[in-house]
Amino acid sequence: MRPIELTPRLLALARQVPQGARFADVGTDHARLPVWLLEQGIIQSAIASDLREGPLEQARETARRHALTDQLSFRLGDGLAPIRGEEIDVCAIAGMGGETIAAILSACRWAASGGHTFLLQPMTSVEDLRGWLWRSGFRIIHEELVGEGRTIYVVITAIPGSMVPMTPAEEWAGRQYRGMEAPLRGTYLDRLCGRVAGMVEGLRRSTRPEDLEKLPRLEEVLTGLNKMKEEWDRWQQ
């Protein structure tokens, strides 16, 4: 059997895993990430967990095909519930909505207090996840943008700790600094500005009181995003 190959999104997650780590993949589905990390000799052990039996069976099947069933522990359950903090160093929660990822971390008693590293890859509601992280005792130490086709994915590395509060625009786009290595950031900011401008337009046309309530906050986000884009373009000259 040929070693497993990872997509750029999963590879970006894998690159954040330090040599010798004890690893968990929550919402593992196909278990490609832990299997790749084991095949490459990067991790010493892995837990693959999923909420549902079907995806967990797929994980077992991937491990069987790669003769790695002895090195993977399979756990059925919600979020981090089937995993004890002392079993792992690094945990990936990838390919789910940002709100689900926040709910998983929030429901876990040891996540914000242990010395764990969390590799988070939200498919939606990235701004909600960033906002939840900094307000809930997590510090974002690294972010990476990964392109697959036209899609730009965000990979966030977070550890327990405090960080300088994010502005509303930073919650949407992540933090930026001069000299930052991020070839996709210009495109990412352009797309966010366009998306939020569309949302602001929609709210302005709405007559529903709850939409009008949301408008000032979203206008602040848009102003902040446009400033970030101007700053980013200036830095690239």
CB of 121 to ligand SAM, least distance (A): 6
Contact 105, 138 (CB under 8 A): yes
Q: Is 104 in the site for ligand SAM (CB under 6 A)?
A: yes
x-or-dash string of contact with ligand SAM, 209-228, rule CB under 6 A:
--------------------
CB of 37 to ligand SAM, least distance (A): 13
Binding piece for ligand SAM, criterion CB under 6 A, among 88-96, 126-134, 157-165, 214-222: 88-96
Q: Which candidate, 34, 14, 18, places its Cα nearest to that of 26?
A: 34
3-state SS assignment for residue 62 = helix
d(CA 171, CA 154): 12
CB of 60 to ligand SAM, least distance (A): 13
Binding piece for ligand SAM, criterion CB under 6 A, among 47-55, 62-70, 128-136, 168-176: 47-55
d(CA 19, CA 141): 18
Binding piece for ligand SAM, criterion CB under 6 A, among 90-98, 129-137, 160-168, 205-213: 90-98
Residues forming beta bridges with residue 207, ordered by sequence position: none
d(CA 177, CA 174): 10
Q: Which residues contact 10 (CB under 8 A, 6 or more apart)?
A: 32, 33, 36, 94
Q: Is 95 in the site for ligand SAM (CB under 6 A)?
A: yes
Looking at 100, 131, 166, 224, which residue binds ligand SAM (CB under 6 A)?
A: 100
Binding piece for ligand SAM, criterion CB under 6 A, among 91-99, 111-119, 194-202, 229-237: 91-99
Q: Is 94 in the site for ligand SAM (CB under 6 A)?
A: yes
d(CA 94, CA 16): 13
Footprint (CB under 6 A) of ligand SAM, residues 15-34: 26-29
Footprint (CB under 6 A) of ligand SAM, residues 151-190: none
Q: Is 144 in the site for ligand SAM (CB under 6 A)?
A: no
Q: Is 91 in the site for ligand SAM (CB under 6 A)?
A: no
The residue to which tokens 């790695």 are assigned? 68
d(CA 92, CA 233): 32
The residue to which tokens 């995806």 are assigned? 55
Q: Which candidate, 4, 26, 8, places its Cα nearest to that of 153?
A: 8
Residue numbers of the site for ligand SAM (CB under 6 A)? Answer: 26-29, 50-52, 55, 78-79, 94-96, 100, 104, 121
